[in-house]
Amino acid sequence: MLISYREALNQAMREEMRRDERVFLIGEEVGYYQGAFKVSKGFVEEFGPERVLDTPITEAGFTGLAIGAAMAGLHPIVELMTFNFGILAMDQIVNNAAKIRYMSGGQISVPIVIRGPGSAAHQLGAQHSQSLEAWFCHVPGLKVIAPATPHDAKGLLISAIRDPNPVIFIEAQLLYGTKGEVGDGAYAIPIGKAEVKRDGTDVTIVAYSKMLLVALEAADALAGDGVHAEVVDPRTLKPLDIDTIAASVRKTGRLVIVEEGWRFAGLGAQIADSVSGAAFDYLDGPIVRVTGEDVPMPYTRPLEDAAIPDSARVVKAVNQMLHRPS
């Protein structure tokens, strides 16, 4: 069926909450407001306020509470209204969720999903527009997922909820309304598996979340010009499926990584390092990164546009790499 990314997330959570009493949803406005982005539409009506908990605006408090509940064997889904606010819960996520299993020598685990939108929408300013996935990927003990399509969003969220580890699940405001074919019922997409979203032979473009759409648009434009780009979506950022990415690079010999986040110490740097380790001999030239600019996100539209990668910049990067006029 053709449904939106938002509806796909809604279906995933609904399926899992119907299947498993231990699963509950907690966060700001998830109940009667139906979710700030309407992802939990109809939930409080179906599952009741005991399992769909509206919280006060205290991210550290309710994220920590959910981690404590997970330690006691429940399977919470924490909705962060946006990951920007999740910064207030970083102590809970990094020092507790990620480390409790290790610190306890494997006695206590934390089966929790912390989800919500990351990255920029349109003109929301510096504090509401940032991509923090690299922060989470840096921390041992966390898994990090950033799906781009409704199909992947549903299957990966189901896997995240069933996973016995803490999973950071990063969505995007600008993806919620995008539509795609989604399977019926509860299907699980394995965590840690990338997918080739478009076959090609000349260059590999790795992109995730919203940037996958940018990469596919660029691939279309390049195809019109006779350049066949292969587009790979890691889908899971940690653990990273380096095998699938490296296999593509071995075929094409070239790699462009597209990410919306800040360049310095961004996720693309890690992907480049991993590919260098796995497929250096197959590279015909340096790995190129197309990234967000290293600035707080400006409000005004022209500057905001300049700070975020678009398909034209991806096309240009590929053409430069191939020594073609752009």
Site stretch for other proteins (CB under 8 A), options 1-9, 66-74, 146-154, 309-317: 66-74
Q: Are 129 and 121 within 8 A, CB to CB?
A: yes
CB of 29 to other proteins, least distance (A): 16
248 binds other proteins (CB under 8 A): no
290 binds other proteins (CB under 8 A): no
Q: Given candidates 17, 44, 69, 249, which one binds other proteins under the rule CB under 8 A?
A: 69
What is the torsion angle, in degrees rounded to the nearest 10, for the CA atoms of residue 284, residue 290, residue 291 and residue 297?
A: 160
58 binds other proteins (CB under 8 A): yes
Site stretch for other proteins (CB under 8 A), options 87-95, 216-224, 254-262, 314-322: 87-95
Judged by CB, which is closer to other proteins: 66, or 203?
66
Q: Given candidates 108, 265, 295, 303, which one binds other proteins under the rule CB under 8 A?
A: 108
Question: Which class for 105: exposed (0-12), middle (13-18), buried (19 or more C-beta within 10 A)?
Answer: exposed
Judged by CB, which is closer to other proteins: 141, or 298?
141
Site stretch for other proteins (CB under 8 A), options 39-47, 62-70, 119-127, 262-270: 62-70
Q: Which of residues 12-31 bind other proteins (CB under 8 A)?
A: 24
Look up 45 and say whether it is catalytic: no
192 binds other proteins (CB under 8 A): no
Residue 121 and residue 129: Cα distance in Å, rounded? 7
4 binds other proteins (CB under 8 A): no
Pairing mode, if any, of strands 288-292 and 166-172? unpaired
Judged by CB, which is closer to other proteins: 66, or 132?
66
Q: Are 9 and 38 within 8 A, CB to CB?
A: no
Look up 323 and say whether it is catalytic: no
Pairing mode, if any, of strands 2-4 and 179-181? antiparallel
Identify the H or E element spanning 114.
strand 112-118
Helix, strand, or coil (residue 295): coil
DSSP string, 191-257: TT--EEEE--SSEEEEE-THHHHHHHHHHHHHHTTT--EEEEE-SEEETT-HHHHHHHHHHHS-EEE
One-letter amino acid of 114: I
Catalytic residues: 59, 128
Report the interface residues with other proteins, using CB under 8 A: 24, 50, 53, 55-56, 58, 60-74, 91-92, 95-96, 100-109, 111, 140-141, 143, 164-165
